Amino acid sequence: MRRRLLTFFVALTGAALALPAVAGADTTTSTTSSSTTSTTAAPVTVPTTPGSTTTTTTPPSNQPPGTDGDGDRPPPVPQDPVAVPPADAPFTPSASDILVTKVLGSRLAQARRGLATASQARAAAAALVAQQQSEVDDLEAKVVDLQAKQARAVRLLQETHARLKRRALAAYTNGGNLEQLAVMSATSLTNYDRRKGFIVSLNRGDARAAKAYQEARKALGNDLLKLSDKLDLAKAALEGARSSNDSAVQVWDQKTLEYKMLQAGSVIAIGGFVFPVADPHAFSGFFGEPRAVGTDHEHTHQGIDIAAPIGTPLLACERGVLLQVGSDLYGGNSIWLVGASGARYYYAHLSAFAPNLHSGQVVAAGDVLGAVGSTGESTGPHLHFEIHPNGGPAIDGYPLLKTVDDATHAVRSKGPSH
């Protein structure tokens, strides 16, 4: 993570020289609560647009001494019931809003098709697993049945051997020779096989008993061997089907997540969505990556990191109400905003807040909320930005942010004549 953010910071170094740094506060007062710290401080200047400035206040950094790790441990999403008041005038989408809605709509339709295909593949894979499992179950039942028959055949062989011994004893008693006695004293069927020459001397009853032994022994071998081979093949096919099913489920999960993200992004974008960091900035998709691995604070990254020079303005991404304005251990100076769409947004690591910013304040999309910083658990200046549709779990905001950022720059590049 540090290496990736460092790449962003290097790329933005030149642009940073063009922006005035946020000055440090001289005095501070703070009031601590269980989750956030409200602050006031000496005013500083944050650039908004070329040639203009906005006065802000900078709270003190809450980063513990000696810490460095860009922890971004996700804070609990505030669930305060908040109603965003209606705007004074109906929303009129800008050119970039229209482009964003169009692009997201196209991507959502594509994601819907991809999800349908993945659902079909998952159903087919599950059906194949069921089919292979049924075949294995059937073969295993046959093996059990054949093993029972094998046990009966073994008893038959034992009975056959016993009969032969009795017949040999009778033959010997009635005047047989020592060869007969040798057969009688045989202790195994193998010994009996080695004495096949004596079978010829038995009477017809003895011959029938010997034939029954030979047939039973032959029946034991081939059927069980063939069935075992078929069972091995069926089990291998079942493992292959399960592996394919696992892959199909993974693809389905990915397509489902992609569809839900685009669906949530489309809902959010309907009312107008502004990229939360002014230019210049850079970002990539780090959502879901493991953080603080092997520690008590291990977690996954729940946001998108947008690198920018310290002091770069941070903007309200949509019209809404500020839920919290303060600081926390990991996010440093931070803001929670609930938008008109119902989504809740988390801004972290700010170096400064806009003047008089406070909880309960209504903001319009594009209003300056503060400035990029590196407070809290952070390795360099950036905004840690989270999107929680309807106050639920965070989603990967990269698709929405990428679409909005590209559309904004595309519209700007065409100029007012377009």
Kindly report, residue by residue over 244-284, the tens digit of the pLDDT.
Answer: 999 999 899 878 877 877 777 777 777 789 999 999 999 87
CATH number at residue 208: 1.10.287
Closest CA to 100 of 340, 390, 405: 405
- For residue range 132-170, what is the model confidence (pLDDT) as tens digits? 999 999 999 988 888 888 777 777 777 777 777 777 777
Q: Report if residue 286 sits inside a domain.
A: yes
Q: Does one domain contain both 244 and 132?
A: yes
What residues does 345 pair with on adjacent strands? 337, 387
Which among 255, 281, 308 is the end of a domain?
Answer: 255
Q: Does one domain contain both 208 and 78?
A: no
What residues does 385 pair with on adjacent strands? 304, 347
Q: Report if residue 394 sits inside a domain.
A: yes
Largest pairwise CA distance in the chain: 131
> How many angstroms separate the CA atoms of 324 and 125, rounded?
48
Report whether the peptide linkage leading into residue 64 is cis, meaning its omega lies within 30 degrees of zero: no
Give the per-residue pLDDT at 28. Answer: 34
Q: Report if residue 101 sits inside a domain.
A: no
Q: Does one domain contain both 275 and 410?
A: yes
What is the average per-residue pLDDT within 344-373? 94
More confident residue, 193 or 90: 90
DSSP state of 57: E
Give the per-residue pLDDT at 201. Answer: 52
What is the average per-residue pLDDT within 70-76? 61
Give the per-residue pLDDT at 192. Answer: 54
- For residue range 26-41, what is the model confidence (pLDDT) as tens digits? 333 333 333 444 333 3
> Please, which pLDDT band fits residue 59 given cuts at 50, 70 and 90?
very low
> How many angstroms separate the CA atoms of 388 and 384, rounded?
13
- For residue range 365-411, what is the model confidence (pLDDT) as tens digits? 999 999 999 998 888 999 999 999 888 888 888 888 888 899 888 88
The answer on pLDDT for 77 being more than 50 is yes
The structure's pTM equals 0.59
What is the average per-residue pLDDT within 183-209? 55
More confident residue, 265 or 324: 324
* Structure-token match 């360099």, residue found: 380
Main-chain phi, psi angles of 315, to 5 degrees: -115, 150
Q: Report if residue 181 sits inside a domain.
A: yes
Which among 255, 284, 312 is the end of a domain?
Answer: 255
More confident residue, 106 or 129: 129
CATH number at residue 39: 2.70.70.10
35-39, 102-106, 281-285, 312-316, range with the lowest pLDDT: 35-39
Which among 230, 255, 280 is the end of a domain?
Answer: 255
Q: Does one domain contain both 294 and 408?
A: yes
Cβ-contact 397, 343 below 8 angstroms: no
How far apart are the two ends of the chain, measured CA to CA in Å? Answer: 40
The answer on pLDDT for 2 being more than 70 is no
Give the per-residue pLDDT at 30. Answer: 33
Q: Does one domain contain both 38 and 126?
A: no
Q: Does one domain contain both 144 and 238?
A: yes
Give the per-residue pLDDT at 286. Answer: 73
> How many angstroms separate the CA atoms of 86 and 64, rounded?
41
What is the average per-residue pLDDT within 57-75? 44
Q: Report if residue 260 sits inside a domain.
A: no
The answer on pLDDT for 171 being more than 80 is no
Q: At what angle do helices 398-414 and 95-173 cross, to 10 degrees?
A: 150
Q: Does one domain contain both 275 and 249?
A: no
> Please, which pLDDT band fits residue 67 given cuts at 50, 70 and 90?
very low
Q: Report if residue 110 sits inside a domain.
A: no
62-66, 122-126, 260-264, 341-345, range with the lowest pLDDT: 62-66
Closest CA to 299 of 2, 60, 69: 69
DSSP state of 25: P
> How many angstroms separate the CA atoms of 354 and 306, rounded?
19
Give the per-residue pLDDT at 253. Answer: 85
Structure tokens at 251: 């693809």
More confident residue, 246 or 219: 246
Report whether the peptide linkage leading into residue 86 is cis, meaning its omega lies within 30 degrees of zero: no
The torsion defined by the Cα of 229, 230, 232 and 236, in degrees rounded to 10, comes to 140
Is the C-alpha dihedral spanning 243, 246, 252, 253 positive or negative?
negative
Closest CA to 132 of 55, 241, 207, 33: 241
DSSP state of 391: G
Q: Does one domain contain both 383 and 297?
A: yes
Main-chain phi, psi angles of 368, to 5 degrees: -75, 125
Length of the chain: 418
Strand residue runs (E) in 194-331: 282-283, 290-291, 299-300, 304-307, 313-315, 320-328
Q: Does one domain contain both 180 and 302?
A: no
Q: Does one domain contain both 275 and 242?
A: no
Q: Does one domain contain both 144 and 246?
A: yes
28-37, 110-119, 123-132, range with the lowest pLDDT: 28-37
Range of the domain at 78: 2-91+271-414
> Please, which pLDDT band fits residue 203 given cuts at 50, 70 and 90?
low
Q: 165 in helix, strand or coil?
A: helix
Structure tokens at 1: 């993570």
| E strand or H helix at 269 | helix 204-270
Average pLDDT score, the chain: 75
Q: Report if residue 34 sits inside a domain.
A: yes
How many structural domains does the chain have? Answer: 2
Q: Report if residue 264 sits inside a domain.
A: no
Q: Does one domain contain both 121 and 249?
A: yes
